[in-house]
Structure 1
Amino acid sequence: MPDPSADAARGPLGIVSLPDRPISPWWALGRRILAALAILVGTVMLVYFDRGGYRDGNDPTNTISLIDAIYYTTVTLSTTGYGDIAPVTDGARLVNAFVITPARIAFLVLLIGTTLEVLASQGREMFRVARWRRKMGQHVVVVGYGTKGSSAVKTLVTNGLDLENVVVVDPKGSAMQEAHADGLAVVTGDATRRDVLRRAGVETAEQVIITTDSDAANVLATLTVRQLNPDAYIVSSVREQENAPLMKQSGANSVITSSDAVGRLLGLSSLSPSLGSVMEDLLSYGAGLEVAERDLLVSEVGKQPQTLPDQVIAVVRDEKVYRYFDPVVTLLARGDRLVVVRPAKEQPWAPRPGTHGEELAGDQE
């Protein structure tokens, strides 16, 4: 059963929100207007209670009414100052000097300063979103920012993807807060809706990762993404293996079965704790071993996969994946890409392509 507290704070649906968004300027404006009204009412009451210390040059009876107090307060706080009503006693003049004048300054700062702040904040936010949209293209859209989604983003970023090229789509306010804390742009809304996906720039996205907690939602989101962008590479997760074929038919290029993967890892760990530890190491990033795909170096052309410094486990040739022992890839050729297991930290005997000035086999001659 979903936790209602997780959805307590929801952002505006379908609206792009960038990280580190400040408190709503309209809420700040409302609070400051209330403060300005409080200053206005307080000054009116102060003048009215001390009405004997004021003189009205347009009233022969020299009587200061409540309306006169309101009139004097408004023209004084707004710095208009017609001068027809003026303080004449020492007490009234001291109140004007040490109470009403500071109140006038505070009043102007609250109204004029806040108006400028609202306009500037709205303008800055609109400019940021417009600039973000102009830079979008060939980016990655992540649908669902739970444990799987955040882990996928972390893996992409640690492998060189810029945070600005990742957009999260999630309807939950808690997910928006977590994504913003990680420096990511968020579109708050249901990823099965076309308008929400369009705001996330799915039509120009290079890759889409779909990781909601519902297989049905994942299928529908995959169908919608594929209709909007026939060329996007879609990676989707399913909880149950029986739903994987349906996900493929919906347009997903790659389907990851979370329950089977976790179950297999648990079984391996039970049969062999050492094997389970190695598998967990391969799935984690930044320490120990890592699985990576890299370009073939010129110096490696014509060699056998088993002879390379990296432990080659597969060769990608003509968009097909071959295991390292397949006769098709007995000798490596230009254009091949290697799937390898190697230390997470670079070692002298296992250079990463391009880090030591190596020439890639796919480079133009």
Structure 2
Amino acid sequence: MRRRSTVPVWLSILWRIGLALALVGIALAGHWFDRDGLRDNVDGSVSFVDVLYFTMITVTTVGYGDIVPVTEQARLFDTFVVTPIRLFVWLIFLGTAYDFLLKGVWERWRMKLIQNRLHDHIVVVGYGTSGTEAVAELVRRGTDPATIVVIDANADAIDAAEHCGVNVLLGDATRNATLEAVQIVRARSIIIAAGRDDTTILIALTARGVAPGVPVSVIIRSQDNEGLAREAGATTVINPASFAGLLLAGSTQSEHLADYLADLANHSGRVSLRERAVAPAEIGKPLSAIETGLGVRIYRGRSAIGFWEPGSAALEPGDRIIEIRPMSEAS
């Protein structure tokens, strides 16, 4: 378990400085009480200033040789006490420099590098139950985790997503700057699963304003809000409750209907739904003549044409085909 530290930055720095001074004080006290074991090669006498100088030089470096330990006791003290103190002091200084100076620069550089490389990626807003399952299914379908970006305002959710190997951003997705930071304009698609309909719709509005041409898929809990989500710019609106209701109602008339629909949606199923553009060699042919799978629907502009309708008799340039393919061939 962990939680965000409430200690101010200045207090953390003072605590580290105090720890370093305490370690140096131990070395100084040891050298002072055993000063007879030291020899000053310059004037032959060892004063407090000489001990202070020798301690600081020994702790920060390996010494210059002007003052040296000559007795076994002094040498053992330097070996087993001063040397570990030297290492701890250096670790404190290096850790402090990294935490308060280098870490910020390093993280900003990494963020900039990741941002520059983001292209044709998938942005998932919200890493709750639905967002987690969406990311897991994307990975199961062969999507490289490096091409997925998860945005969430919850630090624990971001930590969980990061363990999956995806890019993460802790932030508020209703703000333009957050979506611009993940290069949403260059994204392949956006999935919004914020958990609340009002938040989801607001994020969809923000996303549509920042990236007008990117497809937006949202999860809406209330059927009354589905129209609002589409007006906000969502290209795909999914209502888990309604879909579950359809499966349950269908199962009362056919025990295999729900099983087949789950088969279509699941990556581990035997068949898969696939959308693709019509091939040049297929133009002019009926939908039933395609050889890559079982054609079930054509999207022609804003119109959806079923396989039984007259419009499916001849495929046209620009058509999008929805087909069912065996999972072994879908990849």
What TM-score does the superposition give when structure 2 sets the normalisation length? 0.80
Distance 1:260 1:180 in 2: 31
Once the two structures are TM-superposed, the CA of residue 63 in structure 1 deviates from its matched residue by: 7.0
Partner of 2:87: 106
Higher normalized contact order (CA 8 Å, seq sep 6+, divided by chain length) = 1
Q: Give deviations 1:327-359, integer Å, cap 9, x for gaps.
A: 11212234433211121112xxxxx6xx9xxxx
Partner of 1:225: 207
Distance 1:127 1:319 in 2: 43
List aligned pairs for 1:177-256, cutoff 5 A. 177-256=159-238
Once the two structures are TM-superposed, the CA of residue 244 in structure 1 deviates from its matched residue by: 0.5
Once the two structures are TM-superposed, the CA of residue 99 in structure 1 deviates from its matched residue by: 3.0
Q: Give deviations 1:239-266, integer Å, cap 9, x for gaps.
A: 0111101111222122111211122222
> Would you say the 8 A contact 2:127–2:150 is kept in 1?
yes
Partner of 1:333: 316
| Alignment partner of 1:51 is 2:51 | no
Partner of 2:326: 343
> Would you say the 8 A contact 1:39–1:103 is kept in 2?
no
List aligned pairs for 1:1-365, cutoff 5 A. 37=21, 39-54=23-38, 64-65=47-48, 69-79=51-61, 81=63, 86-96=68-78, 98-99=79-80, 102-103=83-84, 106=87, 110=91, 125-159=107-141, 161-309=143-291, 310-346=293-329
Residue correspondences, number: 323
Once the two structures are TM-superposed, the CA of residue 214 in structure 1 deviates from its matched residue by: 0.3
Once the two structures are TM-superposed, the CA of residue 190 in structure 1 deviates from its matched residue by: 1.8
What is the root-mean-square deviation of aligned Cα atoms in Å? 3.7
Once the two structures are TM-superposed, the CA of residue 117 in structure 1 deviates from its matched residue by: 6.8
| Richer in helix (by share) | 2
Question: Which consecutive residues of structure 1, in runs of 5 or more, have no partner in the other structure?
Answer: 12-28, 347-351, 356-365
Other structure's SS at 2:299 match: strand
Q: Give deviations 1:162-210, integer Å, cap 9, x for gaps.
A: 4333211101122212211221111112211222222222344342211
Other structure's SS at 2:172 match: coil
> Would you say the 8 A contact 1:301–1:334 is kept in 2?
yes
Distance 1:336 1:202 in 2: 26
> Would you say the 8 A contact 1:238–1:257 is kept in 2?
yes
Q: Give deviations 1:256-307, integer Å, cap 9, x for gaps.
A: 1121112222222344321111111111113311111123345544333234
Distance 1:102 1:181 in 2: 38
What TM-score does the superposition give when structure 1 sets the normalisation length? 0.74
Matched AA of 2:25 = V
